[in-house]
């Protein structure tokens, strides 16, 4: 169904994107959308696989190798990444997941600017590792070093652009008692709600300070941000609409996307933290650290790795309404009772376009 919608509506969407006077969609977005239409079709190339023992042959169609939303390619990358992390990267020690979500405006800035995203990711990793080192030092463990793997997810549960960070951190530090001896792991004491609040305060202060120093956020409420006008206004418009949960194109541009389900009053504002949840919220900087995998639970670790590397679209939740709208069911109902989101076909493709990451580049930002 996903392939059908994109195949039937892509030409109209690209033509609509070129109507304006400014530049249209970036080349890497157009390439990702067009390659998805050709993904898995034998007419666009295939490999012939022959078994020398039984003589059986199979034709394997070439894939698009997309990094944005293709369920097949992203699913294969998910399985490969999870196996690599569990087999070759993460040692057999306890691992804790730290998830950082950001305010809407910062989500947009990081999703649009790859260098800025890389810099904030480095701030996140350094802050957690420095905090672990200081905590170990206060417990009498000197010279401890830890490690982390961080993945930036660009999507939310409603196919919205929601850039947030999943960080797998060793729940302790390594020391080397002898110069050429085997490293020794020191497990950390159980985490408390106050510890999560302390780390989130550090992240909140450091990330805002960095963005203000770079001129991407105003220093006070009376100052305007110094960010330059985007050189890809249409793509910036798609990203901004996706972050805010609004329609990007057409006559209803700027309106909120249609929500389905039994609506009810939303819960009151979240407190700073809920006892025992290891989750803290400071001005929409949300840090969650409750998920912990024990050293011997390698299956659980692989499931967690697959979860943080998963594709953005669950095709089983897609359906078409009789009037042609695309319905995407939510995994969990929202607090206001929303159970599904309805898109016009062109706006659905606009959501997919906003999820496409920029081509990889070797970035070493200064923090």
Query: What's the rounded Cα separation, in Å, for the pair 19 and 42?
Result: 33
Residue 108 in any domain: the answer is yes
Q: What pLDDT does 291 receive?
A: 96
- Model confidence at 250: pLDDT above 80: no
Query: Residue 186: inside a domain, yes or no?
Result: yes
Question: In the predicted model, what is the mean pLDDT of residues 291-306?
Answer: 96
Can you tell me the mean pLDDT for 325-349? 91
- pLDDT surpasses 50 at 364: no
Q: What is the 3-state secondary structure (H, E, C) of 121-172?
A: HHHHHHHHHHHHHHHHHHCCCCCCECCEEEEEEEECCCCCEEEEEEEEEECE
Query: How far, in Å, CA of 329 to CA of 319, rounded?
Result: 8
* pLDDT tens sequence across 178-217: 888 899 999 999 999 999 999 999 999 999 999 999 988 8
Q: In the beta sheet, which residues pair with residue 209?
A: none
The answer as to whether 18 is a domain residue is no
> Which pTM was predicted?
0.89
Percent of the chain with pLDDT over 70: 92
pLDDT digits (tens, 9 = 90+) for 98-117: 999 999 999 999 998 889 99
How does pLDDT run across 53-62, given as a tens digit for each residue? Answer: 999 999 999 9
Asked if the structure places residue 14 within a domain, the reply is no
For the chain, what is the domain count? 1
For residue 83, count other CB atoms closer than 10 A to its CB. Answer: 13
Domain assignment of residue 145, yes or no: yes
For 262-294, write each residue's pLDDT tens digit. Answer: 766 655 566 777 777 899 999 999 999 999 999
Is 59 inside a domain boundary?
no
Q: In which domain, by residue range, is 77 found?
A: 67-354
Tokens of 262: 């039994």
pLDDT level of residue 134 (50, 70, 90 thresholds): very high
pLDDT at 26 over 70: yes
65-88 pLDDT per residue, tens: 999 999 999 999 999 999 999 999
% of the chain at pLDDT higher than 90 = 72
- For residue 31, being part of any structural domain is answered with no
Model confidence at 221, pLDDT cuts 50, 70, 90, reads low
């Amino acid at each position: 169904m996903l392939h059908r919608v994109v195949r039937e509506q892509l030409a109209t969407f690209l033509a609509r994107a070129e109507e304006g006077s400014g530049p249209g969609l970036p080349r890497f977005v157009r390439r990702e959308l067009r390659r998805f239409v050709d993904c898995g079709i034998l007419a666009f190339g295939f490999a012939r696989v022959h078994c020398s023992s039984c003589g059986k042959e199979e034709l394997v169609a070439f894939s698009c190798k997309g990094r944005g939303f293709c369920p097949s390619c992203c699913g294969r990358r998910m399985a490969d990444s999870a196996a690599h992390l569990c087999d070759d990267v993460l040692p057999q020690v306890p691992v804790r997941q730290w998830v950082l979500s950001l305010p809407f405006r910062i989500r947009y800035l990081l999703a649009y600017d790859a260098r800025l995203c890389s810099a904030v990711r480095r701030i996140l990793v350094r802050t957690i590792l420095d905090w672990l080192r200081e905590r170990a030092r206060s417990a009498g463990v000197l010279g401890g070093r830890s490690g982390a793997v961080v993945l930036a997810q660009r999507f939310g549960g409603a196919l919205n652009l929601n850039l947030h960070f999943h960080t797998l951190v060793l729940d302790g530090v390594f020391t080397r008692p002898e110069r050429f001896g085997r490293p020794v792991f020191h497990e950390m004491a159980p985490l408390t709600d106050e510890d999560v609040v302390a780390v989130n305060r550090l992240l909140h202060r450091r990330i805002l300070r960095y963005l203000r120093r770079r001129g991407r956020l105003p220093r006070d409420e009376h100052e305007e941000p110094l960010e330059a006008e985007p050189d890809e206004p249409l793509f910036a418009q798609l990203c901004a609409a996706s972050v805010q949960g609004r329609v990007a194109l057409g006559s209803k541009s700027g309106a909120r996307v249609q929500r389905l389900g039994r609506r009810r009053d939303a819960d009151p504002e979240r407190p700073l933290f809920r006892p025992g949840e290891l989750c803290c919220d400071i001005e929409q900087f949300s840090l969650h650290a409750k998920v912990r995998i024990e050293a011997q639970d390698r299956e659980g670790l692989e499931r967690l790795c697959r979860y943080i590397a998963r594709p953005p679209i669950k095709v089983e939740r897609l359906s078409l309404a009789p009037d042609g709208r695309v319905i995407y069911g939510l995994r969990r109902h929202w607090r206001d009772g929303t159970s599904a989101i309805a898109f016009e076909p062109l706006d659905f493709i606009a959501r997919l376009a906003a999820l496409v990451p920029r081509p990889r580049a070797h970035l070493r930002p200064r923090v």
